[in-house]
Chains A and B, each alone.
Chain A
Amino acid sequence: MDSLLTTASPPGHDTAPAGLVPSHGRRSNMRSTISPLRRLRAKVVPALFLAPVTLYVLFFFAYPLAFGVVISVENYGFSALVHGSGPFVGLANYREALSDPVTIAALRNTVVFTVSSVFFQVTLGLALALLLNQTFFLSNFLRRLVLVPWLLPLVATGTIFAQLFGSQNSLVNSVLQRLHLVTQPIPWLIQFNWAMVALVIVNIWAGLPFNTIVFYAGLQDLDATLFEASRVDGANAWQRFRHLTMPLLRPVTSIVLLLGIIGTVKVFDLVMVITQGGPDNETQLLSTWAYSVAFTNFNFGEAAAIGNILLIICMVAAAIYIRRLRKERAHLGRSV
C-alpha cells in the first residue's frame, strides 16, 4: 500500500536493534546510579501520560456500561429518571424482555440481518478487491470510486434507499419490471420479508467499500514472487486463487468477518430511517427495539436489559476479534 501508516515496524521491533547495543549497555550502567527520585519519576511519568485516556474510558465507557447493568435490575422508568434511581426488581426486566415476542423477533432479526449482510459483504468485497487488484485500463480510476458509498452518513444512505425502494413505482421496482424479473411491483418496505431483504441490501452497499479496501490492501501485501513462481510451475488462475490467495488471505478474512459482525449487530441508523422497525416489527433489531423501549415507553430498565444482550453479543465478537488480531499479528502484513 502506498502510504504512511503502513510503513511500520516488523514484529519484535520492541527488542533493541543490534546497532544500539553499546548505548544500551551504557544505559544499564547509569541505572545503578539513578537516584530514587528519578526512579519514582520513571513510574509517575507514564502514569501521567496515560491518565487522560484512563479517566476518559472510566467516564465515557465504564460508567455508562456499569450504569446499564445497574438500571437493568431496577424499575427505572420516568420517575427514576427524575430521582436518579429506581426500586430493585432483580431479573424482572430480563424476564419481561425475553417473554416479549418482539424481543425474540428482534434477536432473530438481528441474527438474520447480521449473518446475511456479513456473508455478502465479505464475499462481494473479496470479489471486488480481486477485480481491482488486476491492472487494466480503467482500474486506477475505478479503485478511486470504491469509497464513494462510504462518503455518506448512514442516515443519508438510508434516505437514498428509502426513495429507491420506497413506493410502488420506485426506481428498483420499475427496473425490475422493465427487465421482466417481476410482474407486480414488490412492496419492499411494507411487506413481510421484503423489508428485511431491502435493509440487508442497503447494509451490504454501505459496508462494501470498507471490506473491499481492507481486502485490497491484503492482496497488495501478498508476496508477488510466490504467484510468479506458481505461474511458472503452470498453476492456472483458479489454482492460484484456491491454493495461494485464499490461505494467505485467511488472517485478513477473519478480521474483516469479525469487524463486519461487530459493525452490523449494532446497526441502528439505517433501520430508523428506512423502516423504523416496521412493518409490524419485522425489521426490529435489538438496537432499535432498545431505543423504542427506552425513548417511547420510557422503560429504561427493560431497555437496558435489551441493550445488555446486544452488548454481550458485541463483546464476545470483539474478544474473538482481538484474540485473532494478536494471533495473526505476524501475518497481517506490514501495518501491525
Chain B
Amino acid sequence: MARLHGGMRRTGRELCLNIVGVAAIGLLVFPVWWALCVALENDPNFYATSPDLLPVHLIWQNVNVALQQVGGDIVTSLIVSASAAVIGVVIAVPTAYALKRFRVRYSSIVVLVVLLSQMVPGISLSLAFYSQFRRLDLLGSYPGLILADSTYAVPLMVVLIRAYMVSLPDELFEAARVDGAGEVRCLWSVVAPMSFPGIVTAALFGFLGAWGDFVFALTLNSGSSVQPVTLGLFDFQNRYQISWGPIMATVIVAAIPAGVILAVAQRWVRAGLRAGALNG
C-alpha cells in the first residue's frame, strides 16, 4: 500500500514537472517560434494577429524578399564577424599562453585589464572610433567595422582561451621545453594543437559577439554600403513597418549562425558561457 502510494506520488510529481517545464520553456521559445511562423506566412501584407502557428505550408516568398533586401548585408556580417574572430585568435592565443606559462607580475595586470575591458559600454568607445575613423577615412569601411567589432571578440577570447590553457597539465609545457623547443615552437606545435577545441569555442563566441553588434554598425557604418545584417534589419524595419513577413524572415536569417553553432556544439556553448562568467 505504501509502495503504491509512493508510486502515485512519483507519477504525480513527474507529470507536474513535465507540465511546468513545457509551459515555462514554451513561453521562452514562443517568440522565436512566432517569428518563424510570421516569416513563413503567405500573405505578404500580413499585419493580423494570428498567423498560422503550424507553418506547414512553408512559403518561402518572405525569405526571398528578405534575402533580396539583406542578402548582401549577411555576407558583410559573415566577413566582418569572421575577421573579428581571427583578430581575436591572433591576439588571444599568445596572451593566454603567456598567462599560463610565465609567472610575471605583469600577467595579473593583463588579466585585470582584459576583464575590465569586457565591461566597457560600446557607446563609450564609439565616440572615439567615430572621430578617429573619420580622420583615417575608415567610416563605413570593412576595416573600420572589423576593428571596432574586434573589441567584442578579443577580451572574451582571452578569458576563454586562458581558461582552457590553464586546464592543460603543466607537464605538457615542461616536456616541450625539455625537448629543447623554444617558447614559440612549444606554443605552435604542442600547446596550440592541444588547445584547438578551446580556441574554436572561443572563436565561435568572438564571431557571435561581432555578429550581434549594432552600436558600432549604427555609429560607424550607417548609410554606407558596408552594412551588417543587424543594421540592415533595423533599416528594413524602420522603412517598411508594415511588411512583417519579410522582416521576420530577416530575423530568422540573422539567427542562423548562432542556431547552427548551437545545434552542432551545444555542449561547448554552455561550457563557454559558464567559463566566460566564472573565470578571472
For residue B48, give the distance in angstroms from its CB to the closest CB of chain A.
8
Determine which of B102, B118, B171, B274 lies in contact with A217 in the assembled complex, contact meaning CB atoms within 8 Å. B274
Binary CB contact string for chain A from 75 to 117 against chain B (1 if under 8 A, 0 otherwise): 0000001001000000000000000000000000000000000
Q: Determine the chain A residues whose CB is within 8 A of the CB of B116 once the complex forms.
A: 315, 318-319, 322
Q: Determine the chain B residues whose CB is within 8 A of the CB of A67 once the complex forms.
A: 127-128, 131-132
Q: Determine the chain A residues whose CB is within 8 A of the CB of B50 once the complex forms.
A: 171, 174
With the chains together, A132 CA to B18 CA distance in Å? 10
Binary CB contact string for chain B from 140 to 177 against chain A (1 if under 8 A, 0 otherwise): 00000001001100100010100110110011001000
Residue of A nearest to B187 (CB): A49
A6→B251 contact, CB < 8 A: no
Across the A-B interface, the 10 shortest Cβ-Cβ residue pairs: A64-B128, A3-B271, A49-B98, A266-B121, A46-B102, A153-B212, A67-B128, A318-B119, A8-B167, A5-B271
Number of A-B contacts (CB under 8 A): 318
Q: Determine the chain A residues whose CB is within 8 A of the CB of B47 once the complex forms.
A: 167
A5→B237 contact, CB < 8 A: no
A254-299 at interface with B (beta carbon < 8 Å): 255-256, 259, 262, 265-266, 268-269, 272-273, 287, 290-291, 294-295
With the chains together, A266 CA to B122 CA distance in Å? 8
Q: Determine the chain A residues whose CB is within 8 A of the CB of B48 once the complex forms.
A: 169
Q: Is the interface of A mostly helix, strand, loop or mixed?
A: helix
Chain A residues with a Cβ under 8 A of chain B: 1-9, 13-14, 16-17, 20, 23, 45-47, 49-50, 52-54, 56-57, 60-61, 63-65, 67-68, 71, 81, 84, 128, 131-132, 134, 136-139, 142, 144-157, 159-164, 167, 169-171, 174, 205, 208-210, 213-214, 217, 252, 255-256, 259, 262, 265-266, 268-269, 272-273, 287, 290-291, 294-295, 300, 303-304, 307-308, 310-311, 314-315, 317-319, 321-322, 325-326, 332-333, 335-336
Q: Determine the chain B residues whose CB is within 8 A of the CB of A169 once the complex forms.
A: 48-49
Count chain B CB atoms within 10 A of each CB in A151, A157, A161, A308 and give the residue with the most.
A151
